[in-house]
Amino acid sequence: MLSATQRNWALSLPAFVIVGLLAVVPAVMMLASAFTSPDIEGFTLANFEKLWNSKLAFQAFWRTIRVAIIVTLITIVLGYPLAIGFLRAGPRMQSILLPMLVFPLMVSVVVRAYGWIVVLSPSGIFNQVLLGLGIVASPVDLLYSETAVILGESQLLLPYMVLSLMASLQKAESNLEEASMSLGANPVTTFFRIVIPISVPGLLTGTLLVFALALTAFATPLLLGGGRAPLLTTLIYSFAFTTFDWSAAAAVGLVLVILALAFVWLQRWVGQKVMKSYE
């Protein structure tokens, strides 16, 4: 007779095999191709040397990190007032705000990207407002730029940050802020001394989600950034389907994987330090 643990493992084995054959093995094979070259036999670092000497790859690397950081900071700045405002709203208003918050997650990324193209185009709403107010004399060229990618990614990923912060803030006792204010603390002091410490778990979770998703985003950077503002993900697409250099694409993919794992480690390390400081 099999024990309960052995029986559970036996029942889970088919799922592990299917996932391994359909997902893990192809991914490992693709990443392994980063160390091969059609011109060189055996193991080689030629693909990474090619990236090291490529100005385009260096620009895409730093642009990817920069965009992910800026998007994360924007979602944090906007996420706190939205999360606090939602929790302070009444049940009836929350029933209206919650669908509005999660509705962007139900819309295709491509549809949202094309929406931003309409808004940011020379004849779009954004430029029409600037021209109407007399702020600019001619339309501002924002499409196919890093700014457009940041705007699109921030709007796309903001719900993840808001929901993460709400999950932490709604567990806090509602009278803590009132007690802080009654003891003479101003709203700014209350926010930094009460609200932020309470929301640290949600902030860390939201930061991890937003940064990781911004780091690996593809559709929005491709449609809003184009060839003028390539990121690592769009660079992989270019290598794979434009120059058909699959080894170089795999090398960029491996760099992206290492970058994502490094951030996960950094986030956990910082999270442990921050949590200990509040104990």
CATH code (residue 120) = 1.10.3720.10
Strand partners, 37: 40
| Residue-wise pLDDT tens digits, 85-108 | 888 887 888 888 888 888 878 888
Give the residue, 52 or 94, on which the prediction is more confident: 52
Produce one character per residue of 169-178: b if its CB has 16 or more CB atoms within 10 Å, e if not.
beeeeeeebe
Tell whether 249 is covered by a domain: yes
When divided into structural domains, the chain yields a total of 1
Share the mean pLDDT of the chain. 86
Tell whether 41 is covered by a domain: no
Strand partners, 101: none
Tell whether 219 is covered by a domain: yes
User: Contact 202/80 with Cβ under 8 angstroms?
Assistant: no
For residue 75, is it left (φ>0), alpha (ψ between -120 and 50) or beta?
alpha
Tell whether 10 is covered by a domain: no
Dihedrals phi, psi of 40, to nearest 5 degrees: -130, 135
Q: Which pTM does this prediction carry?
A: 0.87
The boundaries of the domain holding residue 154 are 55-277
Give the residue, 27 or 259, on which the prediction is more confident: 259
Tell whether 143 is covered by a domain: yes
Strand partners, 40: 37
Residue 267 has pLDDT above 60, yes or no: yes
Tell whether 15 is covered by a domain: no
Task: Report pLDDT for 218.
Answer: 93
Write the CA distances from 4 to 13, 15, 17, 75, integer angstroms: 14, 18, 20, 45
Write the CA distances from 43 to 31, 34, 40, integer angstroms: 13, 9, 8
232 pLDDT tier (thresholds 50, 70, 90): very high
The radius of gyration computed from the CA coordinates of the chain, to the nearest angstrom, equals 23
Residue 211 has pLDDT above 90, yes or no: yes
122 pLDDT tier (thresholds 50, 70, 90): confident
Tell whether 28 is covered by a domain: no
Tell whether 30 is covered by a domain: no
How many DSSP H helices and E strands does the chain contain?
A: 14, 0
